[in-house]
């Protein structure tokens, strides 16, 4: 996974106006040399740490100069969890940091040109995505907004879609598109959110999937995030949602229920 993780970090660094540092905790001499060689081939700085792997990594990636953590999903996956233990521990310990998870077998492009941004009817989601959208706009990255309508909550605009879809989309984006930048066109899909997000990734050729999440991957929680980490072949940027009492707004919209990127090598 090291080459893919480093490639994803190098591709993302210009978006965040950051430098890249490969971080490795020494467990054995061969692993250390492999990590050093991988960093050299990627042309990035290399930092070697010593100590217990998980505790050492967690302490380092939460230091103030780390803006984004990039980690591989690992191949230690089990049916009840979408990630290996190292990635899961980093997600828990670096909860206040943006994280890019690189799935097993991910297609990592040399540069980021297109980001898929699924939206729900939550102002918390918009708040979490705001900085990423601002950064992407500044870097001239194309943003694709997506909203998935569950089968049980189809909006009434299906009666006269040529008139009502644009009006519904405009109102939805007015309420939930992050920040003040002009929103892109909203793509509508109907079905299971995780399925439709995966299809949208394939059809749009997005380089990065951007998901806001509540930082909880326990069984039954964060189903879209867990499914994305398990099944998609595109790097996933996870942006933590700050907890508030009300997660979903009361709506009258039918159908809505120096900074661094640390690459863990």
pLDDT digits (tens, 9 = 90+) for 150-172: 877 766 655 555 557 888 888 88
Res 219: pLDDT: 66
How confident is the model at residue 253, as a pLDDT? 56
Strands 45-49 and 19-25: parallel
Kindly state the percentage of the chain with pLDDT values over 70: 80
Average pLDDT over residues 206-224: 81
Confidence of residue 215 (pLDDT cuts 50, 70, 90): confident
State how far Cα 136 lies from the chain centre.
13
Instruction: Please give the average per-residue pLDDT across 30-58, as a whole number.
Output: 90
In this structure, of 35-49, 71-85, 107-121, the range with the lowest mean pLDDT score is 71-85
Which is nearest to 118 in space by CA: 181, 171, 192, 168? Answer: 192
Q: What is the pLDDT of residue 248?
A: 45
Higher pLDDT pick, 223 / 51: 51
Tokens representing residue 118 in the block:
């699924």
Report the mean per-residue pLDDT for the chain: 81
Coil vs helix vs strand at 260: strand
Given a cut of 80, whether residue 60 has pLDDT beyond it is yes
Nearest-CA neighbor of 226 among 239, 240, 241, 216?
Answer: 216
Q: Domain extents for the chain?
A: 2-102, 114-233
19/13 Cα distance (integer angstroms): 6
CATH classification code of 2-102: 3.40.50.620
At residue 205, the pLDDT reads 93
Q: State the pLDDT at residue 246.
A: 42
114-233 and 2-102 share a CATH fold? yes
Residue 72 has pLDDT above 90, yes or no: no
| Residue 67 in this model has a pLDDT that exceeds 80 | yes
Task: Find residue 50's DSSP bridge partners.
Answer: none
For residue 97, the model assigns a pLDDT of: 80
Greater model confidence, 122 or 22: 22
Higher pLDDT, 248 or 26: 26
Q: Distance between CA atoms of 19 and 262, rounded to whole angstroms?
A: 9
- Examine the pLDDT at 214 and tell me if it is beyond 90: no
pLDDT band (50, 70, 90) for residue 244: low
Nearest to 182 by CA among 148, 147, 134: 134
| Radius of gyration of the CA atoms of the chain, in A | 19
Residues 6+ apart with CB under 8 A from 195: none
* Mean pLDDT lowest among 77-91, 161-175, 202-216: 77-91
In which band, very low, low, confident or very high, does the pLDDT at 250 lie, cut at 50, 70 and 90?
Answer: very low
- Judged against a pLDDT cut of 70, whether residue 92 lies above it is answered with no
| Residue-level pLDDT at 227 | 83
Count of alpha carbons within 13 Å of 241, Cβ hemisphere only? 22
Q: What is the DSSP letter of 107?
A: -
Query: How far is it, in rounded angstroms, from Cα 50 to Cα 16?
Result: 28
How many residues are present in the chain? 265
Beta bridge partners of 19: 260
* DSSP code of residue 161: H
Q: How far apart are the C-alpha atoms of 16 and 247, rounded to whole Å? A: 27
What pLDDT does 247 receive? 44
Write down the CATH superfamily of domain 114-233. HUPs (3.40.50.620)
Secondary-structure percent of the chain, ordered helix, strand, coil, rounded to 5 = 40, 25, 35
């Amino acid at each position: 996974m090291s080459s893919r993780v480093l490639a994803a970090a190098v591709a993302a660094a210009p978006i965040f106006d950051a430098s890249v540092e490969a971080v490795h905790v020494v467990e054995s001499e061969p692993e250390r040399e492999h990590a050093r060689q991988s960093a050299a081939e990627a042309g990035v700085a290399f930092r070697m740490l010593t100590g217990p792997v998980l505790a050492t990594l967690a302490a380092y990636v939460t230091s103030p100069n780390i803006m984004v953590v990039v980690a591989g999903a690992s191949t230690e996956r089990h049916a009840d969890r979408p990630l290996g233990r190292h990635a899961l521990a980093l997600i828990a310990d670096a909860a206040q940091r943006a994280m890019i998870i690189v799935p097993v077998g991910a297609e990592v492009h040399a540069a980021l040109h297109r980001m898929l941004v699924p939206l729900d009817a939550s102002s918390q989601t918009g708040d979490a995505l705001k900085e990423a959208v601002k950064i992407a706009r500044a870097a001239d990255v194309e943003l694709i907004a997506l909203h998935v309508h569950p089968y049980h909550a189809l909006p009434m605009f299906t009666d006269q879609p040529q008139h009502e879809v644009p009006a519904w989309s405009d109102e939805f984006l007015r309420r939930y598109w992050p920040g003040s930048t002009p929103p892109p066109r909203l793509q509508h899909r109907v079905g299971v959110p995780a399925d439709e997000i995966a299809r949208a990734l394939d059809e749009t050729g997005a380089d990065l999937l951007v998901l806001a999440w509540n930082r909880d991957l326990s069984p039954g929680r964060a189903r879209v995030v867990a499914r994305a980490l398990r099944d998609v072949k595109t790097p996933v940027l996870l942006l933590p949602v700050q907890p508030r009492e009300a997660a979903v707004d009361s709506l009258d919209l039918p159908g809505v229920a120096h900074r661094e990127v640390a690459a863990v090598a």
